Structure 1
Amino acid sequence: MNPESAAPAIRPARPEDLPRLAELMHEHIAYEKSAPRPPGLADRLAPHLFAPEPRAWVLLAEDASGRVAGYAACTAEFSFWDARHHLHMDCLYLAEESRGHGLGAALLDAVTALARDLGHPEVQWQTPDWNEGARRFYTREGAHSAPKQRYTLPVPPDGTASR
């Protein structure tokens, strides 16, 4: 069997994957022109991903050589208006050289399967409006966009108002 024609391998992250996952996350952070994160990312993730009842899930895509080439990270989120949970896909990222080989679609399929297994009726996520490639990919995969602006408000550690 030709390794290039092998079906994409998608699997849950394991503790030994954390160094490579952190490496991919830092690539993703740079790709989205976001501020660098403090050191220790892998150590901070471990208790959330590998607890007896995890609150976050990461699925990894392996390329034809077996190298971890991308990831999708998800958490359960509650929609007040719908009065139900959905799976929030916080990130889907593939290393640049691994794009265009079916790994993104395979990751998205695995995310929807995870949502189904968890009993969530839908998956929601966001992508930067400048990321035309991602927007085309998600539309091609059957996703629908919902225009909203995302805000963040830092919570001061000392309890003072942030304004």
Structure 2
Amino acid sequence: MRRARPADLPHIALLAAEHAAYEKAAPPPADLPRRLENLLFGPAAGRLCCFVAELDDTGIIGYASCAPELSTWDGAEYLHMDCLFLRDGHRGLGVGPLLMDAVLAEARARGLDQVQWQTPPWNEDAIRFYERLGARAKEKRRYFLSADRGPAESPT
């Protein structure tokens, strides 16, 4: 377990594509390594954090990424874990808890009291994993809206 390095970016992008396929989502953009390089090592560095799990003979088998966010309801910052993914065949071997430990240590290092994340409701393996760690779920749906669309129409 270690922090990602610039040379890891193509591997992380490949894992992100596997993660998207696993969650039946659209693939990440083709220039994801360049985008991640800017976020992790460029002018915006420091906000996004990425950890990788590496096996000597296999290479990078998983990753976890996180960034601080705000909760108006709590009036506090928390660390949002955007992704935690392990390549098929490497789940259930104790690597996931090590990635979670790295994310929790990052929260503590930033002076944050909580880590939050989401997983699809059909991902029962992930839900069992998180519940075994002692995590509790908050039921919500996540929405997104493109910022380049026009102003919202007012009801008539």
Q: Would the TM-score normalized by the shorter structure come out above 0.5?
A: yes
1:103 pairs, out of 91, 95, 100, with 95
Residue 41 of structure 2 aligns with which residue?
50
Tell me if the contact between 1:156 and 1:162 (Cα under 8 Å) persists in the aligned partners.
no
Mapped to 1, the partners of 2:133 and 2:56 lie a distance apart of 22
Tell me if the contact between 1:86 and 1:122 (Cα under 8 Å) persists in the aligned partners.
yes
Matches within 5 A, 1:1-163: 10-51=1-42, 53-63=45-55, 65=57, 67-156=59-148, 160-161=150-151
Residue 42 of structure 1, CA deviation: 0.6
TM-score, normalised relative to structure 1: 0.88
- The number of equivalent residue pairs is 152
Tell me if the contact between 2:52 and 2:63 (Cα under 8 Å) persists in the aligned partners.
yes
Q: Which amino acid aligns with 2:18?
A: E
Structure 1 unmatched runs, 5+? 1-9
SS of match in other structure, 1:49: helix
Question: For each residue in 1:20-60, what CA deviation from the matched residue of structure 2 results, as whole angstroms up to 9, or x when unmatched?
Answer: 01010000011000012321001011111114642100011
Q: Which runs of 4+ in 1 moved over 6 A?
A: none
Structure 2 unmatched runs, 5+? none
Distance 1:100 1:57, change over 3 A: same
